[in-house]
Structure 1
Amino acid sequence: MPTPKTKVSFKEQMHQAREDAILQATCRLLGEKSFDVMTMDDVANAVGIAKASLYKHFASKEDLCCAAMVQILGRVRAYLDTLPAEMPPQDKLQDLVRWSLERLITNEMPLLPSRNSSLRAVLMASRQYLDGLVAVSDQIGQWITEAQAQGLINPALPPLVVLYTLFARACDPVVGFLKEGGQYSDAEIVDLVVRTCFDGLAAR
């Protein structure tokens, strides 16, 4: 006989809904302000709850932001799973970069923490985060090596360099500079950054 599903209480549902709202607000604020500038007061105000309520969910800013980064990795993995298996590897990489830039331009993609940020130490100590990062990196790395074998990406470049270059597009300051300039639409900015990333700057 199938095991009956455990009924979730209304209180638990509300707790989870509030936690989801906290993580969503945190991801947006990390995109707008970065970890070192963002405060717990910012998050509480964005969600519309008391800071004491926020601490019922997360013991510290580091724990909160780590959970947000784990959630983002989950979203990346879910997006990768939607790409058709028959799609050429370079097209998959371009679609991923485009998707990341679209999240970045609307402040949905947290900026990567600096090397001396306390968040980086927390992330490196999180098994859940590291497992997610390895899974995403392995999948992207496979597409990179396939694209290099097909001559679509320079095979002289170490795959790790290509991987980090693509990761860096998710926090590319060029996006913000172009958006502030007001000369291009969001779609045009995304297209321009994708083109410079994959086509380079050399004349053909």
Structure 2
Amino acid sequence: MPAADSASVLGVPVALWDFLRESCRLPAHALHRLPPDELPPPAARLLAHDRDMTSTLAQFHGSPLRVEILQQVRQDEIYLREVFLRTEDRDQVVEYGVIAVVWEHFTASQREAILGGHGPLGGLLHQFQIRFTSAPTCFFAVDAALLTRLPFRTAAGVSCYGRFNQLAKPSGEAIAWAMEILPPAPVPRLLFPPPPPPPVPRLLSHPPTHAHPH
């Protein structure tokens, strides 16, 4: 699989690519591009579409989502942040995301809501009644062991799947770019076998003899 190892290959701003490598500590050659028809289920269903991930994941998991901001920074007119999306009902992490937002498209109150983590960006755009399109620019696989932020125990060689996505106004003017990674699929329990049971006491070959009083 070819590596997705530059901003131009991924179709994202250099600021987002640098933030991924330097602040989020994602190795430059960690992402391996995939055609959408090579995404396994359920990743194909959740990634290979032109909808925003907030509504897609909320529908799939049957729960509204909240955002947990891991870090955020402002670089000129680009706002960057690293997040988890979690379900509200079980607090389950359903996406690891890193996003770059073009700040000039938002009012002061809208910026405050974004900075305060009042909701995932896709949900806030609907709340703000900002019309937008969603267009994936790249799909990829990544070794889960390289995603040090993920709060999961994974077996060696387990892959996560994700995409880079651009949100834009109907005119085509970009609003934001996002790297969106799904957590690893459930791992069969056999990969993590339980500890062996305690040894069974050894049976004696002859029953013990009992002394009889004289």
TM-score > 0.5, shorter chain as reference: no
Q: Greater helix percent: which structure? A: 1
What TM-score do you get using the length of structure 2 for normalisation?
Answer: 0.22
Higher relative contact order (CA 8 A, sep 6+): 1
Larger radius of gyration: 2
Q: Greater strand percent: which structure? A: 2
What TM-score do you get using the length of structure 1 for normalisation?
Answer: 0.23
